[in-house]
């Protein structure tokens, strides 16, 4: 067996109950085979086995009191995956599906993604099985405070800098940061995604959606194409989805879908800027359901179905697919339907939204396909820019941050394309992203010796 196959076998054997983690490791490791041949020094130093093992995993009790005075307990996680190239960095996810395997898959992916950004950031991820949906602001605040009561001892601006993810947006970051500031008695860049009034960066809320759209524009340009007049399917309706819609509109595309975990709306006329502003208000302020969009704009609404189910079952034609909800939302049947219906490009705003079988179908059909770790890296890249501004105690303008984001997305695209070519896999963004991210982290690990 090859070194890589040995590592995969061991991961499955020692953590048999973590399917998402196995999936993420398999997807990366399979593409790294050629690096083992070119870099015997990585094999000798056992980098492949060391890189799949997190530096440190914290699992903790989060007790909190609801509005009725009942005491609830959730499980908190922080996985500090790899800090070879910079402080640990990665978001927090609050969602009932959160477990150790999901946080590990996200932390593992984050390590390579952060390396691709060109900025000095290691990889981490955390979160809880707490569900913010249906909770009052007071309950969310008490939960965040209880979460930080444990997490504060593991994080810091030079150690580990968490941010948002599913279920953790501006409100939650405010509560987490406020409590850290209180108990540490210091105002420091320990979290990113902060409000503008207390150290946040312009464009950070927009960054993941904008960055994914910039990345897709780069992919389209390799075939002389752009967004103008293209019909785009976006899934989700949270942070990433909202700003993906905004940027696609700016670049001349037409987004026709959004969803949440209850239903999918299809608006053939397009979700224009005015409708997008309505979605932001509905989701971020009213905390309502996407079905209300269909009621307001009299559009089609499919309850209990994902965007990809609807595209498959209704035969809807889209040129570009941008999954921005969650992992494994696109399976082989969805991928086959997208190909059949004329889709030319798939850019992942979410982390690992396509199953391995779906990815295979995209690649076999010559679809422009980029994995999330490359296409959605604009979010963490702009978090890196927020950290720089915090360290220097300055604030860049909106235009300055947006320009830097665009430059970073172009450079990630270039690194993917060039690395894929170097390894004889022209046009394969999966191989390009994995190898480019890996080489940087592996070289740093090698430099440190065995630590």
Active site residues: 125
Of positions 379, 384, 432, 437, contacts ligand NDP by CB under 6 A: 379
Nearer to ligand NDP, 208 or 257 (CB): 208
- CB of residue 376 vs ligand NDP: minimum separation in angstroms? 4
Q: Considering beta carbons, is residue 162 or 169 the nearer one to ligand NDP?
A: 169
Q: How far is the CB of 57 from ligand NDP (least distance, A)?
A: 19
Reduced to 3 states (helix: H, G, I; strand: E, B; else coil), residue 159 is: coil
Nearest to ligand NDP of 4, 245 (CB atom)? 245
Does 350 engage in binding with ligand NDP (CB under 6 A)? yes
Structure tokens at 154: 């593991």
Region from 180-188, 271-279, 323-331, 392-400 binding ligand NDP, contact rule CB under 6 A? 323-331
Q: 86 near 121, Cβ under 8 Å?
A: yes
One residue of 162, 189, 199, 236 binding ligand NDP per CB under 6 A? 236
Task: Please identify, using beta-carbon distances, which residue of 319 and 386 lies nearer to ligand NDP.
Answer: 386
Position among 76, 107, 127, 164 found at the interface with ligand NDP (CB under 6 A):
164
Q: Which residue lies nearer to ligand NDP by CB, 240 or 430?
A: 240
Which stretch, 26-34, 319-327, 402-410, 437-445, contacts ligand NDP (CB under 6 A)? Answer: 319-327
For residues 29 and 241, which CB has a smaller minimum distance to ligand NDP in the complex? 241
* Tokens encoding 260: 């949440």
Take residue 153 and report the two structure tokens written for it: 């001892």
**Nearest in space to 347 (alpha carbons), one of 330, 378, 318, 372:** 372
Does 351 interact with ligand NDP (rule: CB under 6 A)? yes
* Residue bearing tokens 């499980």: 75
- First CA to last CA distance, the chain: 26
Instruction: Pick the stretch among 79-87, 235-243, 391-399, 435-443 that binds ligand NDP (CB under 6 A).
Output: 235-243
**DSSP code of 197?**
G
Among 166, 310, 343, 381, binds ligand NDP (CB under 6 A): 166
Output the DSSP codes for 86-145: SSEEEEEEE-TT--HHHHHHHHHHHHHHHHHTTS---EEEEEES---TT--HHHHHHHHH
Q: How far is the CB of 449 from ligand NDP (least distance, A)?
A: 32
| Residue with the CB atom nearest ligand NDP in the bound state | 238
Print burial letters for 395-417: b (CB count within 10 Å at least 16), e (below 16). Answer: bbeeeebbebbbebbeebbebbb
Using CA atoms, how far apart are residues 423 and 414, in angstroms rounded to an integer? 14
Choose between 76 and 205: whose C-beta lies nearer to ligand NDP. Answer: 205
Return the residues of window 255-284 that contact ligand NDP according to CB under 6 A. Answer: 260-262
78-86, 177-185, 239-247, 297-305 -> range binding ligand NDP (CB under 6 A): 239-247
Which residues, 201 to 220, sit near ligand NDP by CB under 6 A?
Answer: 208
Which residue of 52, 155, 231, 240 would you call a contact of ligand NDP, by CB under 6 A? 240
Shortest spacing between CB 352 and ligand NDP, in angstroms:
8
Q: In the complex, what is the shortest distance from the CB of residue 369 to ligand NDP, in angstroms, rounded to a whole number?
A: 17
Contacts 24+ apart (CB under 8 A), 424-430: 424/34, 427/222, 427/366, 428/363, 429/219, 429/368, 429/369, 429/370, 429/371, 429/374, 430/27, 430/31, 430/359, 430/363, 430/369, 430/371
In DSSP notation, 349-382 reads: SSSS-B-HHHHHHHHHTT-EEE-HHHHTTHHHHH
CA torsion 240-245-247-253 (nearest 10°) is 140
Of 73, 82, 89, give the one whose Cα is nearest residue 150: 73
Least distance in angstroms from the C-beta of 390 to ligand NDP:
17
Q: Rule CB under 6 A: say whether 237 interacts with ligand NDP.
A: yes
Residue 308 token pair: 């990809």
Interface with ligand NDP by CB under 6 A: which residues? Answer: 164-167, 169, 208, 236-241, 260-262, 324-326, 349-351, 376, 379
């Amino acid at each position: 067996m090859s070194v890589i196959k040995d590592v995969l076998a061991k991961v499955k054997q020692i953590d048999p109950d973590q399917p998402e983690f196995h999936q993420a490791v398999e997807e990366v490791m399979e593409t790294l085979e050629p690096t083992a041949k070119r870099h015997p020094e990585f094999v000798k130093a056992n980098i492949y086995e060391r890189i799949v093992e997190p530096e440190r995993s914290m699992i903790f009790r989060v007790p909190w009191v609801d509005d009725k005075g009942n005491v609830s307990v959730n499980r908190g996680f922080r996985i500090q995956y790899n800090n070879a190239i910079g402080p640990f960095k990665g978001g927090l996810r609050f969602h009932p599906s959160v477990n150790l395997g999901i946080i590990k898959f996200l932390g593992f992916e984050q390590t390579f993604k952060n390396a691709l950004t060109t900025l000095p950031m290691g990889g981490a991820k955390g979160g809880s099985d707490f569900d913010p949906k249906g909770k009052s602001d007071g309950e969310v605040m008490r939960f965040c405070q209880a979460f930080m009561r444990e997490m504060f001892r593991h994080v810091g601006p030079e150690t580990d800098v968490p941010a948002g993810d599913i279920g953790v947006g501006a409100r939650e970051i405010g509560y987490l940061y406020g409590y850290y500031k209180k108990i540490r008695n210091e105002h420091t860049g320990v979290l990113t995604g902060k409000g503008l009034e207390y150290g946040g960066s312009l464009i950070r809320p927009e960054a993941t959606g904008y960055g994914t759209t910039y990345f897709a524009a780069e992919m389209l340009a390799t075939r002389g194409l752009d967004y103008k007049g293209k019909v785009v399917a976006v899934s989700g309706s949270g942070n990433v989805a909202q700003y993906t819609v905004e940027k696609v509109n700016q670049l001349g595309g037409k987004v026709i879908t959004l969803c949440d975990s209850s239903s999918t709306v299809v608006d053939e006329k397009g979700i224009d800027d005015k409708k997008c502003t309505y979605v932001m208000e509905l989701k971020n302020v009213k905390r309502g359901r996407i079905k209300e969009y269909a009621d307001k704009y009299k559009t089609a609404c499919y309850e209990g179905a994902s965007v990809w189910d609807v595209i498959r079952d209704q035969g809807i034609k889209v040129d570009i697919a941008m999954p921005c909800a969650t992992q494994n939302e696109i399976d082989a049947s969805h991928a086959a339907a997208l190909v059949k219906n004329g889709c030319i490009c798939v850019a992942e705003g979410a982390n690992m939204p396509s199953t391995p079988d779906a990815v295979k179908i995209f690649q076999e059909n010559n679809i422009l396909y980029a994995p999330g770790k490359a296409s959605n890296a604009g979010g963490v890249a702009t978090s890196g820019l927020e950290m720089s501004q915090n360290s220097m105690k300055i604030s860049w303008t909106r235009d300055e941050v947006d320009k830097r984001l665009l430059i970073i997305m172009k450079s990630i695209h270039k690194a993917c394309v060039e690395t894929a070519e170097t390894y004889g896999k022209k046009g394969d963004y999966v191989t390009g992203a994995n190898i480019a991210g890996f080489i940087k982290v592996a070289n740093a690990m090698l430099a440190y010796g065995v630590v």
